[in-house]
Structure 1
Amino acid sequence: MSLNTPFAPARQDGSMKRLALTLLGLISLTLARAAPTEPALQRVPVQRVLRPGLSVAGTPANLNVSITLRYGSKTPGTVLLLMPGYLGGAGSFDRLARQIVALDPKVAVWAVDRRSNLLEPQNRVRFASRAQLETLAREGLPVLPAEKVAYMKDWGLNVTLNDWRAAVQEARKLTPRVFIGGHSLGAALSGLYAAYDFGGQRGYNDVRGLVMLDGYPGLLSGNAVSPQEYQQGANNMIGPIPGTDNLASAPYVNTFFYGPQLASRAAAQARLAAQYPQAPAPPDAFLKWPATNLAAAMTTISQRYTFVPFLALTTGRATNVRETPNPLPRFLGGQDSQRIEGPQDPEKLIGWQGDAQSLTDAQDFARRFWLPLSDATEWYFPQKLALDVAAARLSTTGTPYEQTLPVLYNAAVTLPLLGISAQNGVTTDQDFQQYAEGHIKDLTLHTLPGAAHLDMTYAKSDQVARWITEWLAKHP
């Protein structure tokens, strides 16, 4: 097992100076290589590819699809397929994927969109005028009634992993050096993929290694789910999940902190923040006081102000505001969470500014939150996937779910693992070590200092990308 360790002290002899100069040269070379410019990131080619996914009875044929955003070469030496987290979309990897490819053009990154992303009327956001975006930021788009998408009740772990596997198998036709990974729940799903029985084929045989970004198998599992709970309703760390009896009437996540309407509003506000950052935001959209578009967008997701601290960025703070401590996010684990009580000067807009501690640039985040090929979120996240992950935990061997959720080979997964945690995120070195104990010996761990959960894929620094490319190069 390899962990982050400092260099051992050099011998005190005549080679000390040469060693120091060599190390300095290597460090300088690494830093130079690991600093692609913004134009270099934008030159990375990307295309959205749809392929046949798992055919599911009752699902419209046009939705039985495996979707990837493919960054980099069409003839790569290595392919890394990344699965987004809970409520996340392929667009959430845009900056990180470009950084990885810019650092090592031999690597292609294929970011996954789960099939439910096809339910999003993205053209309504894409072609909206400024006035229409302002209306959307306040009102959102109409939400698909549950009865219209009741087929989502079957979009669980088996569907998600088999759709992903369709892309993995295509990647293997290009190169044997195929790796999978993900962020948050996506990291958990990469471990479940490795342990899954795909009709007699073991998942870990498909890939060369795993990359987990502030997430691990078991992250959203909690206590064991009984067959009665699986049928009638269960809980995970996020909250209640409907059971199979109720999935047809509640097939997607729709809560006070997230749902399709809020997701469409956020997409519209992000576009306004990207195009008109200092202009006044739509009244009563995301802030009830006059604010800039950038401030309205960032106060919903900044670690300082969000109600959901595990879905947060470190990206600065609001200006011209009166603040008081916010107890709810602090109860949920938030640090220094504040509530905006209004403007200091009612004659001025509430604004936004970065600071020295900001890992993510607010303007860059706003630009990447909504992209023509994909956005950062999954508007209609299937409840069945959350239920199955809670039931599967690390293994279903010897459980009531052994046949329906065949996560059977966790103990046989010996793949190399790169685990990167956010210092203020949801995962620690100990979580990765506990997951790997007894079956994974090649374990490399890093922690991104000062990072919140979402900084892992949006940070200005390319440190995460550098760790990934260096690790991939060491695992041929």
Structure 2
Amino acid sequence: MRGLPLALAFSLALAQEYLPLPGTPTGHGLYDQSYALVYKAENPKAVLLMIPGLLGGSTNFALLAEHLRREAPGLEVWAWERRANGLEDRQGFLQEDPLAYYGNLPQPDLTPLRQWGLEVHLNDPDLAVEAARQRAPVVLAGHSLGASLATLYAWAHGERLSGLVLLDGGLPDTPLSPEAFWEGTSTPFGPFPSLRALLSGQADPVFRLPFLSPKDLALAEAEAFVAAQRPLEVVPWGPYRATREAQALIKVDDHYSLLPTFSVSVGRAWAREGLSLLGLLQGRLVQTVRGPRGWVVEWRDTEEATDPRAFLRSYARPQTGFSEWYFPFRLLLETAGYPHTGLGLVPKALPYPILALGAGRGLVPNPQGFRLEKVFPGTQAQVWVLEGLTHLDILTEREGRTAQAILAYLRGLGLL
């Protein structure tokens, strides 16, 4: 699926390189590798290795990486992504009509995902850190669930790092109980299967949410990919017509999104609006597009946190994208129940300061939410909340506030 010649040419043209990395052997051959979208520097002074969150792919960090590299040419940025991205069929991005291609997306063999739990996803980044250390000292950064993985990695191998950055995420306040881990539990979204059910084949190996199935994620990337190329092209949209950029951005903008965790602040549609009934059922005042003022729904950049066209440009590329279509449920389960995995993961002090950045409208809207005194006892920390940003804005915001905070931290470590 990977290693497409045209995709590689595309990445090289953007002065980036998409690298397959060695992975922990699990008996699945080519699937035993992870990947990194590398923003290379000549003679780098430091490597920032970034881990995406739940359902996240390497281009989560594209806009942040551009800010970082522009301000600090001596910094090399590695946007790492998990081995499940190797299951994605990216051939559609080389077709004339990516949307038609992904409208009929076949499901690959998902058997390997049953083995891809926390141990594999701590060993894989360890191999990535080893590769990055051949370039320069490594600082690990994680966003959302990626911050949980970065925390657990630092507990296991913190001495191999030169710094740690947590971006609007961390370990759960209360891990899963042993009963929930081994026998399952119920959640507002439905049953949460157990490890036994997963390993016996009774549970889906892929984590899914309503409207965020693998096919939904693939189509969203295809839609953004086409919209970035032809933003003002007018296409049918339900009972209306809309520009491609409006069609794509309405689904992710914080003003319209039913899923606040996955929203960004990218502007407003030029159309009549009303209250979304689904939003009201969730207890949220979400707007929905009722129809255009005129005959085409268009998009306006209202100078909010994230630049809409830059966001679309970064969202999907032929070799990688913003999402992970086949997120291993076992990884989510074992991260939430890490004390029961037998990996001996316990809090520890680190020999360098930590940077923790929260988002004012995200998962960690106050400094106390990181609980660093408990997670990394006796470790110095810089903790800030970037007000006004959503959970994803912290990665995509146009002003470079996140990048400036990270660069100040790296300079304080003497790495730049």
Q: Bigger shift: 82-91 or 247-256?
A: 247-256
The SS at the match of 2:195 is coil
User: 1:268-302: CA deviations, max 9, x gaps?
Assistant: 11022111112123544xxx532211111111111
Paired with 1:238 and 1:44, the residues of 2 have a C-alpha distance of 40
* AA aligned opposite 2:204: A
Aligned to 2:147: 187
Aligned to 2:4: none
Give how far 1:318 is off.
1.1
Bigger CA radius of gyration: 1
Aligned to 2:247: 296
Contact 2:353 2:379 (8 Å CA) reproduced: yes
Over the matched positions of the two proteins, sequence identity in percent amounts to: 28
User: Aligned pair in 2 of structure 1 residues 462, 407: CA closer, same or farther (>3 Å)?
Assistant: same
Aligned to 1:85: 53
Give how far 1:190 is off.
0.8
User: Aligned pair in 2 of structure 1 residues 461, 370: CA closer, same or farther (>3 Å)?
Assistant: same
Aligned to 1:455: 393
User: 1:97-150: CA deviations, max 9, x gaps?
Assistant: 1211121111111111100001111121x2121xx234357x352233xxx212
Aligned to 1:11: none
Return the match for 1:127 from 84, 94, 99. Answer: 94
Aligned to 1:337: 286
Paired with 2:317 and 2:35, the residues of 1 have a C-alpha distance of 15
Aligned to 1:72: 40
Q: What value does the CA root-mean-square deviation take over the aligned residues?
A: 2.4
Runs of 4+, deviation exceeding 6 Å = 236-239
Return the match for 2:106 from 129, 142, 164. Answer: 142
Give how far 1:305 is off.
1.0
Return the match for 1:352 from 299, 307, 310. Answer: 299
User: Aligned pair in 2 of structure 1 residues 301, 158: CA closer, same or farther (>3 Å)?
Assistant: same
Aligned to 2:23: 53
Aligned to 1:162: 123
User: 1:246-277: CA deviations, max 9, x gaps?
Assistant: 32341112331311100111011102211111
Structure 2: unaligned runs, 5 residues or longer: 1-11
Contact 1:204 1:415 (8 Å CA) reproduced: no
Paired with 1:421 and 1:92, the residues of 2 have a C-alpha distance of 16
Paired with 2:258 and 2:86, the residues of 1 have a C-alpha distance of 28
Aligned to 1:363: 309
Paired with 2:345 and 2:218, the residues of 1 have a C-alpha distance of 34
Return the match for 1:443 from 377, 381, 385. Answer: 381
Return the match for 2:336 from 390, 399, 419. Answer: 390
User: 1:316-373: CA deviations, max 9, x gaps?
Assistant: 11112232255637847x5x42133x2044x5111111214x1111111111110233
* AA aligned opposite 1:45: A
Return the match for 2:220 from 266, 271, 296. Answer: 266
User: 1:424-476: CA deviations, max 9, x gaps?
Assistant: 11113334552334714421122223111111111111121111111101113
Contact 2:258 2:278 (8 Å CA) reproduced: no
* AA aligned opposite 2:404: R
Paired with 1:343 and 1:436, the residues of 2 have a C-alpha distance of 51
The SS at the match of 1:281 is strand
User: Aligned pair in 2 of structure 1 residues 429, 280: CA closer, same or farther (>3 Å)?
Assistant: same
Q: Bigger shift: 378-387 or 225-234?
A: 225-234
The TM-score normalised by the length of structure 2 is: 0.89
User: Aligned pair in 2 of structure 1 residues 214, 269: CA closer, same or farther (>3 Å)?
Assistant: same
Contact 1:101 1:107 (8 Å CA) reproduced: yes
Contact 2:90 2:319 (8 Å CA) reproduced: no
Aligned to 2:360: 423
Contact 2:54 2:146 (8 Å CA) reproduced: yes
The TM-score normalised by the length of structure 1 is: 0.78
* Alignment size in residue pairs: 399
Aligned to 2:263: 312
Paired with 2:306 and 2:361, the residues of 1 have a C-alpha distance of 14
Aligned to 2:6: none
The SS at the match of 1:189 is helix
